[in-house]
Amino acid sequence: MKVLYLGGFLQNAERLRKRSQPLEAAMARLGYELDYVSPPLTIASKEGVFTSLGRTDKEKEAKWQSITARGLNRCWWYYVPGAKTQGAGLEESMAYIVDYIKKNGPYVGIMGFSQGSSVAAMLTCYLPRALPDFTPFRFAVCISGFKLGPEFAHYFEGSQTVPTKVVVVYGTMDFVVPAAGTQGLCKLFPGATEVSWRGGHDVPQATDIIDQVVSRVGSADTKL
């Protein structure tokens, strides 16, 4: 059974898969096949990156060239320096991923990391309205994500009643998306569960943490 897995900021499908090998193996043992999806938007310049790329201009340029050479200059929405709110390009990305699901689905579940985690949470609520003929996701695994500003609240409509099992995963030492930001996703979904681990902004690698995640997901042959 297929599961959609959305990459994050400065990631593509290949990069996400490399960071998710232990998790992918655990999901495969339960009967799931992960479909890795790159963020659809292209970051045009290093000014569109909110994290530090280096201490000097030379270091920053070298890092940026490395990012673009590997096709990692991807995102679900753009970072706009100085903007009061962030989220430019998200509407385009949501249209893209809904169309992708329509063409390649159905998917029994959805997963996401960082920006991709936020999009996964939004799709969990939004997809039943966007594609009413599709069955809602059985589960959603949101790793190091966060809720966007109120201008995108319409994507979270229905979070209180959606029949999806939501698992929120975060590192307690994440300084890119603090734990409180990811925990905010839990509050949107009644019955959502948290899995925390001693780590930063990354997909967990430790067997004990991955076991906690997949135990909450359940196997592919589990009856609803």
pLDDT over threshold 60, residue 224 = no
Write down the pTM of the prediction: 0.92
User: What pLDDT digit, counting tens, does each position of 2-53 carry?
Assistant: 999 999 999 999 999 999 999 999 999 999 999 999 999 999 988 888 777 8
Q: Which residues pair with 37 in a beta bridge?
A: 6
Provide CB contacts within 8 A for 200, sequence distance 6+.
171, 173, 174, 175, 176
pLDDT over threshold 70, residue 221 = no
**2-40+90-219: which CATH architecture?**
3-Layer(aba) Sandwich (3.40)
Mean of the per-residue pLDDT values for the chain?
91
Residue 223 pLDDT level (bands cut at 50, 70, 90): low
**36 token code pair:** 């890795």
Q: Stretch 74-101: mean pLDDT, rounded?
A: 89
Residue 204 pLDDT level (bands cut at 50, 70, 90): very high
